[in-house]
Amino acid sequence: MKSITAELLFDTGNTLGEGPLWHPEKSCLYWVDIEAQFLYRSDTALNSYTRTSFDTPIGAFCFTKEGGFLLATGQGFLAWDGLNTQPIWNPLPPRSNVRLNDGKVDPAGRFWAGSIDTEQSQAELYRLDPDGAQHTLLKNLGIANGLDWSPDRKTMYFTDSSQYTIFSFDYYLETGAIGNQRPFLQLPRTSAEIVPDGLCVDAEGCLWSAHWNGWQVVRYSPAGVPLLTIRLPAQRVTSCCFGGERKDLLFITTARTGLTQSALHKQPHAGGVFVVHTETTGQNTHFFGS
């Protein structure tokens, strides 16, 4: 299997960098530091960045067709216009250690986001529709994580990190319904605790999975066969997305949280944002809204 190495783009030292998302109209990259409660934005040249602080952790976010954002947070789903936040829907149980985690907009403009409980494996997957309808799709999960859809819009992929598994579902574009859950990929349970985290699907239908504790992103064929490994000088690889003018840049976020000082000494760029030029292209970024 071919292996390439990603380059450091921003040495941000994020505690828990996550959720990279390319804005095709603004030609810039956004991502979050969940634990530090920052939302980052790069410049168009990918040379610098700015960040905005929030009073709640942001697990994921999306762009809206009206020009704003939806945020998946410790307070549920919030709307953000760049200045102020407004509560939309909080489906989370009343526990201090639970928040929304990874999320993404589907091809029909619906925002999906799952939850995480940092003290126990108890999570759900939610969906907020443009018409305001609110849905709980999956229950009894461990850690709801990366998700995306196939280019033919017939399959949804979803990660439960506590099960070391990426699942695939039949997906129905018109209704947003999912069914026929089956394992797509399961990583072996080892002492290294390498688990699948965030993911994205490219224009060829191949899945790119970030491996927490694995120092890598792996590209898998639609049949689950590993095709390419992207190596990183950071142990805790969290998520990835395609972007750039030709959608052929893969941006990768990483984390420092939970690592010992000895481990951090060996990986000084942990928590940075990395990039690699690929031989494929990503799908279009979906915006929330009908």
- CA of 264: how far to CAs of 13, 32, 210, 219, 259, in Å? 10, 20, 19, 26, 6
131 catalytic residue (yes or no): no
DSSP output for 191-230: TT--EEEEEEEBTTS-EEEEEETTTEEEEE-TTS-EEEEE
Q: Is 145 annotated as a binding residue?
A: yes
- Joined together, the tokens standing for residue 33 give 């530091």
Cα-to-chain-centroid distance, residue 86: 23
- Is 18 known as a binding-site position? yes
* Residue 213 labelled as part of a binding site: no
Q: In what order do the strands lie in the sheet with 111-117?
A: 98-105, 111-117, 123-128, 134-141
Q: Is 140 annotated as a binding residue?
A: no
Q: Which of 33, 197, 202, 248 is catalytic?
A: 197
Both structure tokens of 93 = 């149980």
3 touches 225 (CB < 8 A): no
Q: What share of the chain is helix, strand, coil (3-state, %, to 5)?
A: 5, 55, 40
Is 279 annotated to bind ligand? no
| Residue 101 marked in a binding site | yes
What are the binding residues for a divalent metal cation?
A: 18, 145, 197
What are the binding residues for substrate?
A: 99, 101, 119
What are the binding residues?
A: 18, 99, 101, 119, 145, 197
Q: State the catalytic residues.
A: 197
